[in-house]
Amino acid sequence: MESFAVVVLLGVAALITAVGIALSVLKKDPGNEKMVKISKAIQDGALAFLLEEYKTMALWWIIFAIVIGVVVSPIVSASFLLGALFSILSGFFGMFIATRANGRTTQAARKNIGEALNIAFSGGSVMGLTVVGLGVLGSVIVYLISSKFFAQTINPMVVTTGYSIGASFVALFARVGGGIYTKAADVGADLVGKIEAGIPEDDPRNPAVIADNVGDNVGDIAGMGADLYESYVGSIVAGLILGNIALGSTGVRFVYLVAAYGILASVIGIFFTFLSTRLKMSPQKALNSGTIIANIFVIIFVFFISKSVTGSLRGFIAIVAGLVVGLAIGFITQYYTSSKPIRDIAASSQEGGAATTILSGMAVGMESTFFPVVFMGAGIVVSYISSGLFGIALAGLGMLATLGISLSVDAYGPIADNAGGIAEMSGLPEEVRARTDTLDSLGNTTAAMGKGFAIGSAALTALALFSSYLNSVNLTTLNMLSPYTLTGALVGASLPFVFSAFAISAVSSTARFMVEEVRRQFREIVGLMEGKADPDYKQCIAISTKGALKNMIKPSVIAIVAPFVTIFIFGKFGKEALGGMLVGSLMSGVILAIYMANAGASWDNSKKFIEQGNFGGKGSEAHRASVVGDTVGDPLKDTAGPSINILIKLMATISLLFGPFLTKFM
């Protein structure tokens, strides 16, 4: 029990540290009256959407909780609801501080970029520490309670699986719903504002500008928080299940201690980043240095944990393999989204217009899938050789061991983006917007790197959950030459594409209404373009809200019903077909997610490269073409792409939980 006491202590320490950082952010200067007013409008819009989103999701939670209670166990149902609740809290608290850090970041940017980075990163740190603190505490509480009081009734591993499904359930709705909201507003604001009206980004005359800034928070903060919470919990639960099979209670303790000391390493890295900003390092060096320090410390911690708990270094090797793969994916992503490829896309914008911009970005996204997949394959082989299937789960956990800081780096980006919008809408000097744009551009790269980590860990975690599913339905191997398995694999491979089609179509249909509304206001509100009248921001917020809530259901339901439909259609061959479906969705989903995340980020950063004065700068033909590319990439990188990793893991955990119960009746 001493090991679990350390786990609980470090989980609580993460939350206390998050509260301390949050209070320090709130003490900062929020800026002038106009800045405060704009920030308040973003806060109110984000909160209103989240409440409506949670109401819409609530019916599905209740229905699914009842299904779990009837088919599996009421104890697992309660665990599912707790996982859903903590997933909500992780996103909500992060967004609460982010919507208050944005204006304070703008005010700090009036002084220098270092102060602005410090506040934006502080806001992101609240998200990072809240996610890992709640993730560890929630799962360990569920495990300890189920082990002590219900072990005779139901396997604690099944109870923790229910907790993971709860986290995934919320994450999928939050990611898809938030992604539809933010990208519909973004596309509408850019296409009409930048291209047709020729006004700057975040210009207060643009009716969609507040909805766009609200979307940064509900999609890229609250949605991302729930997403990464789900990834983190999923990697822990996969490790628990396979660790229990391989080493019994020793494997369980090892997994929790790795997660707990990963939190400690993240806290060290976060404070090192703060120190780096004080030493006036460049933003990229400051963020990279904190991440590197955190990874060094987690390697040291895991070395001693592996020796003392398991008596060997096998687990250590698997976790280091995951860390190396994660860092490799991160640096590969950084290259494709911030280096020569984006300059090539920008050149295409000047030479061939929107068509060649889109073609170049597609090519970059496709090319960027190869090396991450190679590194993932190498990580799977090394981790399997070291510790078998348990090693694969540990590699996935290792990739997210320092999530506390990697998510902090990721979450700072939307805060910097909002800060730039507030600077523009408040009419602050050009140098202020230039500083926030520098932070925002780096934020696009860090966000793409964060998505790379999430996708990589999703692949390893889903593979571990898949092997657990096979064990739960008494399949020692999966015959890929079986017509039932092969059919399942083909159908599974198509699911990420169908899911993405629904998500992208939802953005497109909602954006159409947004475009029409922005055009109407420009046309009908007298004096709007001259700055003598105010736009109707609330109407655009209502369009994004309605479109997101209406359209987030269809893609989300795919992950929920697909395992059940597969088992019922194939009958006594259902478990083989479902296994094939999980393999197919994993293979196609990982590659598709990497492609969409990197293509979208490369289009976005090539646009920002042009806006810095290259290839004609803002207002040029190259800039117009790059804006089109950016709007094409928006739903790929912020709606469909990051949701796929939730899709493949949620299908795997649902199959793991329900498979043994449903296949008995086939």
The two structure tokens encoding residue 282: 């460049």
Rounded Cα distance between 477 and 539, Å, is 55
- Kindly state the DSSP code that residue 665 receives in the 8-state scheme: G
**What pLDDT was estimated at residue 260?**
96
Q: Which is more confident, 257 or 456?
A: 257
**What domain count does the chain have?**
1
616 in helix, strand or coil? helix
Of 649 and 189, the one with more pLDDT: 649
Contact partners, residue 561, CB within 8 Å, separation at least 6 = none
Tell me what percent of the residues of the chain surpass a pLDDT of 70. 98
| Mean pLDDT, range 262-291, rounded to an integer | 88
Lowest-pLDDT choice from 323-327, 441-445, 523-527: 441-445
Are the CB atoms for 615 and 346 separated by under 8 Å? Answer: yes
Q: What is the pLDDT of residue 344?
A: 93
First to last CA, the chain: 42
Structure confidence by residue, pLDDT tens digits, 477-510: 888 889 999 999 999 999 999 999 999 999 999 9
- Residue 466 CA to residue 238 CA, distance in Å, equals 9
Cβ-contact 464, 392 below 8 angstroms = yes
pTM reported for the whole predicted model? 0.90
Question: How far from the centroid of its chain's Cα atoms is residue 4's Cα?
Answer: 28
pLDDT at 107 over 80: yes
Query: What's the rounded Cα separation, in Å, for the pair 244 and 491?
Result: 32
Residue 194 forms part of a structural domain: yes
| pLDDT at 329 > cutoff 90 | no
Choice among 191-200, 230-239, 317-326 with the minimum mean pLDDT = 191-200
Give the residue ranges of DSSP H helices in 426-536. Answer: 430-472, 483-524
Asked if residue 363 is part of any domain, the answer here is yes
Cα separation, 597 vs 448, whole angstroms = 6
With a pLDDT cut of 90, the percent of the chain lying above it is 45
Answer for the pair 179, 551: CB distance below 8 angstroms, yes or no.
Answer: no
In a domain, 573, yes or no: no
pLDDT of amino acid 84: 92
Is it the case that residue 1 has pLDDT exceeding 70?
no
The residue-averaged pLDDT of 428-457 equals: 77
Query: What local confidence, expressed as pLDDT, does residue 209 receive?
Result: 85
Tens digit of each residue's pLDDT (9 = 90 or more) over 606-657: 998 898 889 988 888 898 899 889 889 989 988 898 889 889 988 999 998 8
User: What's the chain's length in residues?
Assistant: 666
Q: Using the 8-state DSSP alphabet, how is residue 430 labeled?
A: H
Helix-strand-coil percent breakdown of the chain, rounded to 5? 90, 0, 10
User: Would you state the pLDDT for residue 445?
Assistant: 67
Burial class (CB within 10 angstroms; exposed 0-12, middle 13-18, buried 19+) of 400: buried
If you average pLDDT over residues 278-306, what whole number do you get? 88
Is 539 part of a structural domain of the chain?
no
Q: Per residue in 560-619, pLDDT tens? A: 899 999 988 998 888 999 999 999 999 999 999 999 999 998 998 899 889 888 998 888
Cα-based angle 199, 204, 205 (whole degrees, multiple of 5): 60
Is 30 within the bounds of a domain? yes
Q: What is the DSSP letter of 206?
A: -
Q: Please answer whether residues 120 and 214 qualify as being in contact, where contact means their C-beta atoms are separated by less than 8 angstroms.
A: no
Q: What is the pLDDT of residue 665?
A: 66
Instruction: Report how far Cα 348 is from the mean position of its chain's Cα atoms.
Output: 30
d(CA 466, CA 478): 11
pLDDT at 232: 92
60: burial class by Cβ within 10 Å (0-12, 13-18, 19+)? middle
Going by pLDDT thresholds of 50, 70 and 90, the confidence category of residue 258 is very high
Residue 143 has what pLDDT? 95
Q: Calculate the average pLDDT of the chain.
A: 89
* 41-47 own/partner pairs: CB under 8 Å, 24+ apart: 41/210, 41/537, 42/99, 42/102, 42/210, 42/213, 42/214, 42/217, 42/418, 43/99, 43/100, 45/210, 45/211, 45/214, 45/541, 46/95, 46/99, 46/214, 46/217, 46/218, 46/222, 47/99
Cβ neighbours of 550 (radius 10 Å): 15
Name which residue leads in pLDDT, 273 or 661: 273
Kind plus residue range of the DSSP H or E element containing 245: helix 224-247
SS3 207: coil
Domain that residue 96 falls in? 2-484
Q: Are 507 and 637 in contact (CB under 8 A)?
A: no
Residues 428-432 have a mean pLDDT of 86
Q: Is the pLDDT of residue 383 over 80?
A: yes
Q: Decide if 604 contacts 220 (C-beta within 8 A).
A: no
Asked if residue 290 has pLDDT above 90, the reply is no
Q: Is residue 141 scored above 80 in pLDDT?
A: yes
Residue 512: how many other CB atoms lie within 10 Å = 15
pLDDT the model gives residue 300: 96
Residue 568 domain flag: no
Q: Kindly indicate the confidence band of residue 250, based on its pLDDT and cuts at 50, 70 and 90.
A: very high
Give me the pLDDT at residue 496, please: 96
Angle at 374 between CA 503 and CA 637, to 5 degrees: 20
**Lowest-pLDDT range of 95-99, 326-330, 390-394:** 326-330
Question: How would residue 291 be classed by pLDDT, with cut points 50, 70 and 90?
Answer: confident
Confidence (pLDDT) at 173: 86
d(CA 233, CA 140): 10
Q: CB under 8 Å to 642, separation ≥6 — which residues?
A: 175, 179, 224, 227, 451, 454, 455, 593, 597
**82-91, 360-369, 416-425, 564-573: which is most confident:** 360-369
Task: For residues 119-135, give the mean pLDDT.
Answer: 93
* Residue 444: pLDDT band with limits 50, 70, 90: low
Residue 558 lies in a domain: no
- Closest CA relative to residue 349, chosen from 633, 622, 624: 622
Which tokens belong to 386?
């070291």
Q: Is residue 421 part of a domain?
A: yes
Whether 286 shows a pLDDT value over 90: the answer reads: no
